Amino acid sequence: MSKILMPLVALCLCITSSAQNIFKAQIKNKETLQPISSASVTITGNTAGVLSDSTGYFRLTNIPDGSQELRIASVGYETFHQSYIFPLTDTAIREILLHPHREEMDDIIVSSTRTSRTIANTPTRVETIELEEIDEKSNMRPANVAILLSESTGINVQQTSATSGNASIRMQGLDGRYTQILKDGYASFGNFANGLSILEIPPLDLRQVEVIKGPASTLYGAGAIAGVINFISKSPRDKPELSAILSQSHIGQSNIGVFSSARSKKAGYTMLGLYSRQKAFDADKDDFSEVPRSNNFTLHPRLFLYPSENTTISLGNSFTKGNMLGGDMQLISNGSSAAHSYFEKNETVRNTTTLDITSDINPSSRVVAKAAYTLFKRNIFIPAFDFTGTNYNLFTDVSYIRNFRNQTFIAGANFINDRFKDQNTEHAQTLGFTTSTYGVYAQHTFDANETIKFENGLRADAVSYGNKLYKKNEVFLLPRVSVLFKWNNNWSSRIGGGLGYKTPTTFTERTETFQYQNLMPLKDVVAERSIGATADVNYKTHLAEELSFSINQMFFISRVNNSNILEQDATGNYNFINTNKKVTSTGIETNARLVYKDFLKLFLGYTLTDTKAGYVLNNNQFMPLVPKHKINSALIAEKHDNYKLGLEAYYTGVQFVYDGSATQPYWNLGFMAEKYFGKFSVYINAENFLDTRQSRYKPVVSGSHTSPVFDDIWTLTEGRVLSAGIKFKL
């Protein structure tokens, strides 16, 4: 009898154990590694499940033997599907990382408004470019962020040189000098360095890019008339990170970059290293380079100290060295000769040291102190002329933040000293210029109720600027107001406006085009002043269970008074003067997203810009190099950790160049594909595969090899770019 019972008991135990497989795991946000609570965990085909706890942990029991698909869903994250064979070979607690929805932006925390609120609760309109898109664009151009910005609505990356490739950023139809460029909140890219700013910011260590369109001088002082672009670096996380990229393009650009980070309880670090090499490239075979020969190196280490749970200290130093040589292709290859003597050479060194101290006095109060010192040296050489100068910038800021139940109060003060030293001793008059700013500011964010939220601010800046020819002292009061209306879960809108100013500078995208030759020092030129406003309406919904749709419609207006304009006198010298002719920019931006099953994503954008200046001498007074119509579109198919495919199309309408003539509209189409193999991925890019370039419409260069004349640059010059690369992530 016992011989019969024993096998039956064993069989029953086996059956019981087969129904008692256990799966344990912790769920985290893939980008921040923060635990995700209340995520729903089920086995496909079985309605019974569990929720993750406050630490992201869950324990799922009674799982049948065999292949079972685990399904995890959480609001704001893409649904996780993964098959496992039970019983498992081990009992370890697994880590499951969920991807944040790209179409769900409301939970993204922004820091450029100083309040560290989510987008959904920030009255100031802030756009973000997230890590996934940064990663995608770094495949195309690992050396700089130009392409990352050029494909955003309302932002135009304007090339300023036909041979060197230098560029500036325009927002809402206004000149590049009206856009404030920040790195981690530090304003270190203005004045002499402005023309090269976006060419010296690599994307590999960026976590997020935040864009405030419209007046933002109340937040960041001079130069934020058109808006602010803040590039935010990664911080060390509990899990060490190591990533590397190696890429090559058919036009001769090679890139190798490495980023690493780690932290312990008391210390952490991040480290970026990037080397980029470019061969000179002549797209239209006219013997002049569209892309210069260049070598660029960037090293950016940051040390983080955590002396207590409430205090973080970060010390960083970013060093960039580069050189570019463009012009006659035979000169670049073989050296100068009597028949081939034109060149444009740039040598740059940039070093920025930063210190950031953040301390929580108590759960509702925080003090933040920031300081940065930047040295930027640039040498420009063209035949029979050279220009050498060094820009020194000291930035300090201290702020106090107090949070209450439904409001936040911020008070702060800052000091900025910007000094340009012209080192061209042989020139009769140098362009040396110094600007010192003492500022105080206050900001109040108030949640009146769940529907209406206010953000009001006031800044007072006492500014002293001048050179050997004149000195000027001015005081600026800069109010700003923003209101957020959250009508319901589908509809919201924002409206905001404020005043701004820009201190005088000789370094603009226009003077960059002639390398500051025959440019006279500033004399009796005063600051430009502005007033501007933006308003938007946002709608989001689910058209079907797995089909989401959102659209944002923005309206903007800016007016600049006392505009600093460039005039050429009878002797051929260039002088800046103030004009009483206003610059007015109005327009709209439309952004729409359609996402199906966390797999297929369609992005559409349209920008209408109408910028007019009374001092422009063409018949319609349109601001040069501002397209009235632009269309941005992208279609992405993606299966996370498997593959990604993308098709992009960008349309740019008619523009007017400086002589008043109109340009042709054009399309720029691109394709990308990336395949993942665990910790490795390989990718290919075909940028501008229709080969749109300016030389297809008219010659970019006229004249002789020794005395070339360059046309205004209004579109792409290098044409089609094919590239491929390998990435590694740990």
Provide the pLDDT for residue 16: 44
CB of 65 closer than 8 Å to CB of 86: yes
Mean pLDDT of 130-136: 86
Q: Give per-residue pLDDT as tens, 247-263.
A: 999 999 999 999 999 99
Q: Give per-residue pLDDT as tens, 275-301.
A: 999 999 999 999 999 999 999 999 999
Provide the pLDDT for residue 618: 59
Q: Give per-residue pLDDT as tens, 313-340.
A: 999 999 999 999 999 999 999 999 989 9
CB of 213 closer than 8 Å to CB of 226: yes
Distance of CA 444 to the CA centre of its chain: 26
pTM of the model: 0.86
Structural domains of the chain in order of their starting residue, each with its CATH number: 2-98 (2.60.40.1120), 109-231 (2.170.130.10), 232-729 (2.40.170.20)
211 contact partners, CB below 8 Å, separation of at least 6: 126, 127, 128, 129, 152, 155, 227, 228, 229, 230
Q: Which of 5-9, 528-532, 593-597 has the lowest mean pLDDT?
A: 5-9
Provide the pLDDT for residue 1: 46
Distance of alpha carbon 728 from alpha carbon 504, whole angstroms: 46
Provide the pLDDT for residue 428: 61
Whether the predicted pLDDT of 13 surpasses 70: no
Provide the pLDDT for residue 585: 95
**Residue ranges with strand state E in 137-252:** 155-159, 167-171, 179-183, 206-213, 227-233, 241-249
Q: How confident is the model at residue 617 (pLDDT cuts 50, 70, 90)?
A: low
Mean pLDDT of 113-128: 83
Element (H, E) at 512: helix 509-512
Q: Give per-residue pLDDT as tens, 491-520.
A: 999 999 999 999 999 998 888 888 888 999
Element (H, E) at 92: none
CB of 156 closer than 8 Å to CB of 169: yes
Backbone CA torsion sign across 274, 148, 509, 110 = negative
Distance of alpha carbon 128 from alpha carbon 208, whole angstroms: 7
Whether the predicted pLDDT of 605 surpasses 70: yes
Q: Give per-residue pLDDT as tens, 145-184.
A: 888 888 788 888 877 776 666 777 889 999 888 999 899 8
Q: Give per-residue pLDDT as tens, 422-474.
A: 988 666 678 999 999 999 999 999 999 989 999 999 999 999 999 999 999 99
CB of 606 closer than 8 Å to CB of 592: no
706 contact partners, CB below 8 Å, separation of at least 6: 338, 339, 340, 341, 342
Mean pLDDT of 345-358: 95
Q: In degrees rounded to 5, what are phi and psi of residue 219?
A: -80, -40
600 contact partners, CB below 8 Å, separation of at least 6: 635, 636, 637
**Higher pLDDT, residue 678 or 196:** 678
Task: Please tell me whether the peptide bond between 87 and the residue prior to it is cis, using omega within 30 degrees of 0.
Answer: yes
647 contact partners, CB below 8 Å, separation of at least 6: 634, 635, 669, 670, 671
Neighbouring C-beta atoms of residue 640, cutoff 10 Å = 16
Whether the predicted pLDDT of 46 surpasses 80: no
- Tell me what percent of the chain is helix, strand and coil, each rounded to the nearest 5: 10, 55, 35
Q: Give per-residue pLDDT as tens, 53-94.
A: 888 899 888 888 888 888 888 877 778 888 898 888 888 899
Task: State whether residue 705 is helix, strand or coil.
Answer: coil
CB of 708 closer than 8 Å to CB of 721: no
**Residue ranges with strand state E in 77-195:** 80-86, 94-98, 109-110, 117-118, 127-129, 155-159, 167-171, 179-183
- DSSP state letter for 148: H
Distances (CA, A) of 327 to 286, 345, 509, 707: 11, 8, 19, 11
Number of residues that make up the chain: 730
Whether the predicted pLDDT of 374 surpasses 90: yes
Q: How confident is the model at residue 641 (pLDDT cuts 50, 70, 90)?
A: confident
Provide the pLDDT for residue 44: 81
Mean pLDDT of 385-391: 92
482 contact partners, CB below 8 Å, separation of at least 6: 123, 124, 125, 454, 455, 456, 494, 495, 496
Provide the pLDDT for residue 48: 67
